[in-house]
């Protein structure tokens, strides 16, 4: 794995923050050509300038045309797309009665539509090359469910099924499609969409109550698994949902 990424082109959505950013840092450290796609211009520029990467691509993954244009631009500029990491995501923290039409559409638009648009745009290039890897961000909530985040749970269940369906559609095309399903990870998303951001004590109480290892994950602990799934060491893995959750779903 130490040299195989040196000539590979990696596109990471949501690369301006959290686990997307941690994945960008890992791939860049392995010598890959990494392109950051995000709607957050300041965050994306910060990551790219810190790592000496090219200019980020800015846009909303919920827009199909934007996704197609971004993928085509990567291939036009770098000649190939070897790895697509779909980390862009959003959450709405409410049960169904607290979820408006707009809340529902926003979560589905980013987490499901956006991931589908990016995968569909990337696949023809990967199929033509006879090789390619997609790593999607699912969640523990895509499998076991959770109270108080209906749209998010549904969206992540869809991500898991999208991952399996695409993997089987393209299993003979040289394209592998897998997902990571993280548990509770210490990123800005943990505080987003809440009336009051959780304190460090609140987060430790959450970990003590719900996580077998009794600690949140560092984003880099998920990024390491993303890189593994993108690497040739995972050559016999496709359609897999890899939980990285400190034993949460083992119970
Ligand atoms: N943090 C957790 O505990 C956790 C657990 C399981 C799964 N996940 C999933 O992991 C992925 C990464 O989450 P994170 O915790 O690193 O979150 P984060 O909020 O730190 O980063 C998400 C990134 O996605 C970008 N983004 C959001 N909507 C976008 C859009 N419409 N278009 C383009 N970019 C957009 C944001 O600007 C941000 O840079 C998400 O899919 C999330 O659902 C998070």
Q: What is the pTM of this model?
A: 0.98
| Ligand 1 atom index nearest CA of 16 | 39
* 219 within 8 A of 185, measured Cβ to Cβ: yes
Average pLDDT over residues 13-33: 98
152 included as an active-site residue:
yes
Q: Of all helices (H) and strands (E), which one includes residue 164?
A: helix 150-169
* 53 within 8 A of 36, measured Cβ to Cβ: yes
Answer yes or no: is pLDDT of 173 > 70: yes
Summarize the chain as % helix, strand, coil (round to 5): 50, 15, 35
All structural domains of the chain: 9-246 (3.40.50.720)
CA-to-CA distance for 9 and 181, rounded, in angstroms? 23
189 C-alpha to ligand 1 centroid (Å): 6
* 156 within 8 A of 217, measured Cβ to Cβ: no
Answer yes or no: is pLDDT of 2 > 80: no
Strand partners, 176: 133
| Tens digits of residue pLDDT in 156-169 | 999 999 999 999 99
Average pLDDT over residues 111-127: 98
Q: Of all helices (H) and strands (E), which one includes residue 57?
A: strand 57-58
| Ligand 1 atom index nearest CA of 219 | 16
The per-residue pLDDT for 1 is: 65
- Which residue is catalytic, options 113, 152, 175, 176? 152
What are phi and psi for residue 33, nearest 5 degrees? -85, 110
| Tens digits of residue pLDDT in 88-97 | 999 999 999 9
| Tens digits of residue pLDDT in 34-44 | 999 999 999 99
* 107 within 8 A of 151, measured Cβ to Cβ: yes
First-to-final CA distance of the chain: 32
Burial letters 180-195, b for 16+ CB under 10 A, else e: bbbbbbbbeebeeeee
What angle separates helix 150-169 from helix 115-129, to the nearest 10 degrees? 10
Measuring from each residue's beta carbon to the nearest atom of ligand 1, which residues come in under 6 Å? 13-14, 16-20, 38-40, 43, 60-62, 87-90, 110, 114, 137, 139, 182, 184-185, 187-190
């Amino acid at each position: 794995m130490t040299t195989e990424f040196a000539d590979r082109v990696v596109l990471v959505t949501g690369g301006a923050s959290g686990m997307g950013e941690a994945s960008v840092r890992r791939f860049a450290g392995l010598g890959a050509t990494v392109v950051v796609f995000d709607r957050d211009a300041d965050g994306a520029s910060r990551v790219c300038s810190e790592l000496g990467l090219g200019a980020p691509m800015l846009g909303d993954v919920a827009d199909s045309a934007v996704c197609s244009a971004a993928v085509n631009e990567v291939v036009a500029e770098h000649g190939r797309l070897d790895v697509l990491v779909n980390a862009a995501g959003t959450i709405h923290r409410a049960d169904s009665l607290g979820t408006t039409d707009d809340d529902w559409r926003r979560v589905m638009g980013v987490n499901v539509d956006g991931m589908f648009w990016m995968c569909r745009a990337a696949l023809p290039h990967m199929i033509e090359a006879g090789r390619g890897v997609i790593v999607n961000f699912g969640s523990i909530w895509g499998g076991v469910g959770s109270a108080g985040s209906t749209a998010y749970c549904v969206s992540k269940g869809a991500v898991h099924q999208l991952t399996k369906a695409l993997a089987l559609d393209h299993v003979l095309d040289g394209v592998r499609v897998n997902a990571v399903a993280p548990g509770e990870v210490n990123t800005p998303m943990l505080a987003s969409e809440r009336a009051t951001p959780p304190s460090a004590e609140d987060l430790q109480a959450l970990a003590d109550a719900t996580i077998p290892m009794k600690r949140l994950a560092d984003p880099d602990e998920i990024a390491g698994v993303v890189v593994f799934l993108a690497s040739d060491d995972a050559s016999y893995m496709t359609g897999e949902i890899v939980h990285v959750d400190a034993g949460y779903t083992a119970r």
